[in-house]
Amino acid sequence: MGGAEAKVQRASAMPAEQRRAAIAEATLALLAERGAAVTTRQIAEAAGIAEGTIFRVFDDKDAVLRAALDLAFDPAPTERELEAIDRHQPFERQLEAAVEILQAQVRHVWRLVSAVSDTDALRGRKPEPPPDLVALTELFEPHAAQLRHRPEVAARELRALTLAVSHPALYADEPMTPQEIVSLLLHGIRKGPAC
C-alpha cells in the first residue's frame, strides 16, 4: 500500500490544566484575528489538536472563550514588560515606556472584549479592581521624595489616567500620547503659579 493514506496526528499526552492553557493561548490569538466567530475547528487547528480534544477539557466554546479572556486579563505579562523597562533612562522616559505598555494592553483587551461582547463568555464576570502592578510601583519608588503621593498610589493614578485617556469608550479624541499622559500626571494642567 502506498503512502496515500493521511495519518492522523494525535496530540501528545499532557495534563488537563496544561492542555486547557494551550487551547486558551491558541484561542486568544484567534480572537484578535477573527472575533467570536472563531470555530472550535479553527481553535483545534491553531492548537495542533483534534477538535474533540477541546471538549475533553472544556464544556463548550464559551468556556474556551472565557479561558482566553482570563489570559487577556492576566496581569503577569504586563508585569514582565514593566520589569524590563531600562531603569537607567530618565524618570519621565521610564514612565512613558510604562504608558506605552499599558496603552497596548488597553487596546488588546478592548478588541477582545468587543469581539466577544455578544457571547456568553463575558456573562457572570464580576468587575474587579485590577491588582496593583508591582513593577509600575517600583518605577516611582526611587523618586518618592519628589512625589506628593506614595509610589503605589502614583502607580494606580498613572494606570487609571492611562486607561481613561486611551480607552475609546471613555475618551472622545485620539488617545493621548505617553508623553502627554506623563506630563499631565507629573505637572497637571495649570500653566504655572498664580500671579
pLDDT for residue 49: 94
Domains and CATH numbers, the chain: 16-71 (1.10.10), 75-187 (no CATH)
pLDDT tens per residue across span 67-110: 998 898 899 999 999 999 999 999 999 999 999 999 999 888 88
How buried is residue 82: exposed, middle or buried, by Cβ count under 10 Å (0-12/13-18/19+)? buried
Q: Is-contact 86 94, C-beta < 8 A?
A: yes
CA-based nearest residue to 171, from 163, 182, 179: 163
Give the position of cell 486547557.
Answer: 20
Q: For 173-182, b where at least 16 C-beta lie within 10 A, e where not — what string?
A: eebbebeebb
All three cell numbers of 15, joined, read: 495534563
Distance CA 25, CA 74 (A): 12
pLDDT tens per residue across span 116-160: 776 776 666 666 777 888 999 999 999 999 999 999 999 999 999
Q: What does residue 106 show for φ and ψ, rounded to 5 degrees? A: -60, -50
